[in-house]
Structure 1
Amino acid sequence: MTELLLVGIGTGNPEHLTLQAVRALNSADLILIPRKGKNKADLAELRRTICEEVISNPATQIVEFELPKRDADNPNYRQGVDDWHDAIASVWAEAMDGLPDQARVALLVWGDPSLYDSTMRIAARLKPAPEISVIPGITSMQGLTAAHKIPLNTIGTPVLITTGRRLREEGWPDGADRLLVMLDGECSFQHIPSDGVMIWWGAYVGMREEILLSGALREMMDEIVETRAAARAHHGWIMDIYLLSREPEGDGESA
């Protein structure tokens, strides 16, 4: 049976890899690296750089594949995602075809495979089903709070992790003083009341291109929108994340 290693690699900094991740990558017979088009060539290059820095096993092969694109025009969002995941699983299966029994195949997953990532769901579609091992990694959430030198939580209160789409459509959820917002391509903080809200925003967190901005949402909103647009135009892609809080800055605990 093929073993599929889903290795969390942090947010683009090779130093984010755990010792467990390094060992897993060196145990792999094959490492699959996705290509996401010319504008996102940096992402494949970062994966290759990580492999060059940490892999010492000469028997490990590295194969790149073209990642299928999701049909963003499908009015049924969930069906569009399901179809996309089916297509990705088919590409993985083709790349692994012909491997010997008990081969180990690794995929380098940004951040951690458990946090707003579909790698495990896609892996579950493979037939025959491989044995799956998950190696956790540092998340952009951890990278953001570390870079801003802030705790994620305030004292005795919950933190809700959500997406930009849900923030736009549903507003600030009840029962949460802090929101960690991911997968937001439209700066959805513009769609909520800004009075009394703090924001800690970061792009390319943990990478040499890292950009950090923070302050009162009302004062920082336009600057973040403009900075994000300029960075995306310059690099051709962007990964960003932000934390919103209704509590005064500094009202948190680190233990």
Structure 2
Amino acid sequence: MITALVIGIGTGNPDHLTGEAIGALNRADLFLVADKGPAKQDLALLRTEICRRFIDDDHYAIVEVPDPERGPDAERGNSEYRAGVERWHAERARRYAAAIADSVGDHGTVGFLVLGDPALYDSTIKIVRSIEAHTDLDVELEVVPGISSLALLAARHKITLNRVGYPVHVTTGRRLVEEYRPELGDVAVMLDGSLHCADLLADHPDLVIYWGAQLGLEDEVLISGRLTDVIDRIRAARTAARDRRGWVMDIYLLRPGVAAKSARPGAEVTP
């Protein structure tokens, strides 16, 4: 029997690991880490540093598994995008299954370290569940929650995600423009490399944005204000963050017609 631990590790700051996550780290014999190439090597190094810092001894091993090509997501329609992601997930599961069989055989505890929280726009739970389909291994899944980028965004800007009596809608950049309407309330947007929020300005000029990139890391950036006033600064800050690391992770909250009043000391703010 393989026990698979899917462990949320927060957004990159080791101080955000929970006690439950640290306990789970110390149970694992093997950690599988996706190797996404040189541009994202520091994400693999972050996971290695978390293991070194929180695991009490050296009984564990870390194996980097080359990540399959995902494909040109931005150029695909919704059905092609979903099919491409399904193929990517299946190939990841096959590679993880092979790495488990090679490293621990049919008995052991395998950890998967997930940035943020495994329940929010992350595929690890689904992929781990499908490992059994690609091997003779029996896999028992356990999930440990982590601090999400959504929770950290709200904390950094010192806001709540919802206003009194209003809902919160969580979506992706791919779906934002077709879904958006003010009745959704506050809208949290993830996975938006193209900043599709700018496409809403013609019909919704009073939108306010709370944006953050590299949350939890030393080069964290925050900008808030009327979207029409700060969108160019956000684009520039996003490009600069990518240039520094080779990748960028960002998230934002859109709020209709409410002035952005505060953010943490040192943040960039446009009232």
Q: TM-score over 0.5 for the alignment? A: yes
- Summarize deviations over 1:13-54 as a string: whole Å, max 9, x none: 111110000010110011112211111111111111111111
Separation in 1, partners of 2:252, 2:76: 28
Separation in 1, partners of 2:22, 2:119: 19
Separation in 2, partners of 1:112, 1:173: 27
How many residues align? The count is: 250
1:111 to 111, 116, 127: 116
Separation in 1, partners of 2:47, 2:28: 15
Separation in 2, partners of 1:38, 1:210: 21
2:189 to 152, 172, 181: 181
Determine what percentage of the aligned residue pairs are the same residue: 44
SS at match of 2:194: coil
Q: 1:151 maps to which residue?
A: 160
Q: Please tell me whether the aligned partners of residues 177 and 247 of structure 1 are also in contact (alpha carbons under 8 angstroms).
A: no
Q: Which runs of 4+ in 1 moved over 3 A?
A: none
Separation in 1, partners of 2:181, 2:123: 24
14-23 or 121-130, larger mean C-alpha shift: 121-130
SS at match of 2:92: helix
SS at match of 1:27: coil
Separation in 2, partners of 1:173, 1:84: 32
Change (3 A) 1:173 1:57: farther
Separation in 2, partners of 1:171, 1:100: 46
Q: Please tell me whether the aligned partners of residues 171 and 192 of structure 1 are also in contact (alpha carbons under 8 angstroms).
A: no
Deviation at 1:92, TM superposition (A): 0.3
Q: Please tell me whether the aligned partners of residues 158 and 176 of structure 1 are also in contact (alpha carbons under 8 angstroms).
A: yes
Q: 1:164 maps to which residue?
A: 173
2:128 to 123, 145, 149: 123
Deviation at 1:123, TM superposition (A): 1.2
Deviation at 1:250, TM superposition (A): 6.6
2:144 to 135, 148, 152: 135
Residue 37 of structure 2 is aligned to residue 37 of structure 1: yes
SS at match of 2:98: helix
Query: Could you say what the CA RMSD is over the residues aligned between the two structures, in angstroms?
Result: 1.6
Deviation at 1:101, TM superposition (A): 4.3
Deviation at 1:57, TM superposition (A): 2.8
Change (3 A) 1:182 1:33: same
Q: 2:236 maps to which residue?
A: 226
TM-score, normalising length: structure 2: 0.88
Gaps of 5+ in 2: 262-271
TM-score, normalising length: structure 1: 0.93
Deviation at 1:188, TM superposition (A): 0.8
